[in-house]
């Protein structure tokens, strides 16, 4: 099985770029919570061992790698809020989060490796897209881990404020428990109103009240 390597970063360095950031986002699919992005500039001489696409790692391994990445790399984490998701759309909001993450790095990145097939339109530095980049580039893999762990922890915090939806386990994704919570407790301020299941609940409730 192929694993991410440093070839994209090395190719960028060969072109003269000094600070190359891997960028990834997590949280496009959930019905609740922000979309989160991370940007990571790895030190090629101090790489965490075992970096891979966050989806291919256990939660325990992700947590351990999160701590290593935070200790060994230049990392920035950013989010776009539910309001921004509903105002723009989830794709645009995820790109807003990506740009904020790149801007938050201690070092000024001069090239970005973006997971996916679209470069965020407000990104002001050189960039390239890598489809399935979290499984191909070590920097993007690191960003995927950081974004995933940070967002999961954030949803655990929100679950303490809004129990009953199972966010501590489903991270806001539309599981059976989450749907049951919506039926029992209704829509919270952290739900994405532009997403069809939430929109339908609000619309039906409104039509009933009318």
The pLDDT averaged over each successive group of 10 residues in the chain (210 residues) is: 91 98 98 98 95 94 98 98 98 98 97 97 97 97 98 98 98 97 96 95 61
Domain ranges of the chain: 7-153
Query: What was the pLDDT predicted at 203?
Result: 83
What local confidence, expressed as pLDDT, does residue 101 receive?
98
| pTM for this predicted structure | 0.94
Instruction: Answer yes or no: is 115 a known binding residue.
Output: yes
7-153 adopts what CATH topology? Nucleotidyltransferase; domain 5 (3.30.420)
pLDDT of residue 207: 44
Residue with tokens 């991370």: 38
User: Using CA atoms, how far apart are residues 77 and 40, in angstroms rounded to an integer?
Assistant: 9
Give Cβ neighbours of residue 184 (< 8 Å, ≥ 6 apart). 164
Q: Is 24 annotated as a binding residue?
A: yes
Question: Is the CB of residue 119 less than 8 Å from the CB of residue 129?
Answer: yes
For 12, the 3-state DSSP assignment is helix
Contacts of 158 (CB under 8 A, 6+ apart): 32, 33, 167, 190
């Amino acid at each position: 099985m192929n694993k991410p390597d440093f070839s994209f970063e090395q190719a960028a360095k060969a072109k003269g770029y000094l600070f190359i950031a891997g960028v990834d986002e997590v949280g496009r699919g959930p019905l609740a919570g922000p979309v989160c992005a991370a940007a990571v500039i790895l030190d090629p001489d101090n790489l965490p061992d075992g970096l891979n696409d966050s989806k291919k790692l256990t939660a325990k391994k992700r947590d351990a790698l999160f701590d290593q990445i935070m200790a060994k790399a230049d990392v920035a984490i950013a989010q776009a809020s539910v309001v921004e998701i509903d105002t723009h759309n989830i794709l645009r909001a995820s790109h807003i989060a990506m740009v904020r993450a790149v801007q938050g790095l201690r070092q000024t990145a001069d090239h970005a490796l973006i997971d996916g097939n679209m470069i965020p339109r407000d990104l002001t530095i050189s960039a390239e897209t890598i489809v399935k980049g979290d499984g191909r580039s070590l920097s993007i893999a690191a960003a995927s881990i950081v974004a995933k762990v940070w967002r999961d922890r954030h949803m655990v915090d929100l679950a303490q404020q809004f129990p009953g939806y199972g966010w501590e386990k489903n991270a806001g994704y539309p599981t059976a428990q989450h749907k049951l919570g919506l039926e029992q407790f209704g829509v919270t301020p952290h739900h994405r109103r532009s997403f069809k299941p939430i929109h339908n609940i609000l619309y039906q409730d409104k039509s009933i009240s009318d």
